Amino acid sequence: MRAMNMKKAISNTQLLLATVVTVALLLTPAAFAAAPGITGPTFNLTAQQAFISQPDGNFVYSWGYGCVSASAPSGFAPTLTGQKCPTMQVPGPTLIVTQGQTVTVNLTNNLPNAAGNTSILFPGFNVTATGGIAGLLTKEAGHALATSTVTYTFVASTPGTRAYYSGTQGDLQVEMGLYGAIIVLPSAVPASCNAGVHASNVTAQGSSSLAHPGVTEHDFRLAHAAYNHPGACYDREYLFQYSEMDPRIHRQAEEQAGRTCPAGAANTGCMEVATEPYVPAYFMINGRSMPDLMDPNYAPEYPHQPYNGNPHMHPGELTLLRIIGTGRWQHPFHEHGNHVRILARDGNLIQSTTDPANNLAGPLLFTTTTTPGLAMDGIYYWTGKGLNWDAYGHNPSSSDPNATLSCTPDANGYNTGAPTAINYFEWCQDHNKPLQAAPFGDVAGGGPATLPDPNIFANGPWFGGSPYLGPNATVRAVGSTGTTPPSGTVANSPTDEAGFAFMWHSHNEREITTNNIFPGGMLMMMLVDSREFVIDESK
């Protein structure tokens, strides 16, 4: 069931939300994220109004940046299915440029006259603004024909992830949705990012379709490094913008959007919207709340919310997280499964003082807590090291060839010499180490734990009763008891996707609700997929 179908079913009956969301988690097909956006260096944007949707059935009046309809963007990156640039979206289009380019952003004001002027700030860059009307922080786009467009020009001097947002009546316009991201790609990717284990990861991605002959994964990275530094290499990437909405503010703006302003009020507008007290009820990642954010990028049911939040990875991959805090609140976001190693904040690489050319000094964070406007780049990494059991369920006496794969440790202890093997990047110290004292199926025995019967233990599209990765992991773990619902019947085949699902969510409990109903809000799943499962980020 698509989230939009769920939304139609429940309309505004919020008491049904918790039940329906649980069903949606079981039935929503896999859709993956990436860091989609439009490429420059020239961007023609507009600011205008539209409605965005929430999982409780509400359509919230909002403002957002988008592409001028008569001026298509010069291109998209990466290439994904159904890409488009609406005339208004929340968050605004992700602007993708390369270090050293001269960036030009032409902004046209198509907001209601009652909203007054609007603008864009690009923190971290030396911006020249021309045209428009002088404002408090920058030149603004007004409504009169001669002043409705303003041009911002700057050199993308340093790589990294940063926010852009309105510099006009920020307490209202940023709240209404006038914000976005700009990604500056490094001008010189280090050679080491295309050699050694990084080259092996590319090989592994290309050969990870052992369960799908003839199908290979594609490389959806914007670059092979986040910065001009050998410590900034990565294998997969995602962009997450955290924001919140107070529906009372949006409702007041909607009610006043049609006002005719008196003479002299053209610049400031004539809305009387109280932005305090601030009581947000919606908490979003990339403009969507859970479970909507698990639907594909550019899903037609969200015409003004094109970006999703649904990360996947394979063991051993370095996953780059581009994180931006937007709005007024801090968002203490916790990525289960491992800490996040921070590379940079606001485009400033955190380097060692003793050997900056080779070593980075960013902290490991339990929660990637963002304050409004703060951006950070970090690496998330998962291999199974530290589990203290063989995550692939190997059994040396088995007749199943997938259960008897070897593990040859490299200098760091990982199985990286066989990138086409299912257990590529296995932590060899745990190879052949059993988990179960009384295994159900064809897995190694003698371990310390006795798992409950998987048929009564748990349900969910990513849990099949098996603590193992790899082909047939679910079948091998349950043996003659059969597969655990819903594996093989709803979301994933027991011989196909057998991953470890880690819930990623805000540690502010209110922020994992939608209009005070759990689950919702800032909540998503990181699924560590076994190598034989194809992660198709074109969706």
- In the chain (539 residues long), the average pLDDT of successive 10-residue segments reads 40 35 38 85 96 96 93 86 93 97 97 95 96 93 83 97 96 97 95 87 71 73 94 95 97 95 80 95 97 93 95 93 95 95 95 87 93 94 92 86 90 90 92 83 80 58 67 67 48 64 93 94 91 80
d(CA 24, CA 19) in angstroms, rounded, equals 9
DSSP 293: G
What backbone torsions phi and psi does residue 469 show, to the nearest 5 degrees? -100, 165
Whether the CA torsion 9, 12, 51, 121 is positive or negative: it is negative
Residue linked to tokens 């180490």:
433
d(CA 305, CA 286) in angstroms, rounded, equals 8
Q: What's the pLDDT score for residue 485?
A: 46
Q: Tell me the chain's radius of gyration from C-alpha atoms.
A: 24
CB 378 within 8 A of CB 341: yes
d(CA 102, CA 292) in angstroms, rounded, equals 36
Nearest CA-CA partner of 94 in 3, 171, 155, 33 = 33
Give whole-number Cα distances, 305 to 61, 388, 512, in Å: 13, 42, 19
CB 487 within 8 A of CB 494: yes
Beta bridge partners of 357: none
Q: What's the pLDDT score for residue 15?
A: 33
Q: What's the pLDDT score for residue 531?
A: 83
Q: What's the pLDDT score for residue 459?
A: 52
Q: Which residues contact residue 13 at a Cβ distance below 8 angstroms, ignoring those fewer than 6 apart?
A: 57
d(CA 290, CA 272) in angstroms, rounded, equals 32
Q: Which residues contact residue 145 at a Cβ distance below 8 angstroms, ignoring those fewer than 6 apart?
A: none
Tokens at residue 258, please?
């049609």
Tokens at residue 35, please?
């860091």
Residue linked to tokens 């997969």:
236
> pTM above the 0.95 mark?
no
Exposure of 82 in the CB half-sphere (CA atoms within 13 A): 14
Measured from the Cβ of residue 95, the count of other Cβ atoms closer than 10 Å reads 25
d(CA 129, CA 110) in angstroms, rounded, equals 19
At 95, the amino acid letter reads L
CB 7 within 8 A of CB 101: no
Whether the CA torsion 360, 226, 157, 121 is positive or negative: it is negative
Which domains, from first to last, does the chain contain?
A: 1-197+213-269+282-383+514-539 (2.60.40.420), 391-498 (no CATH)
User: Checking DSSP bridges between strand 139-140 and strand 523-528, what pairing results, if any?
Assistant: unpaired
Output the 3-class SS for 103-163: EEEEEEECCCHHHCCECCECCCCCCEEEECEECCCCEEECCCCCCCEEEEEEECCCCEEEE
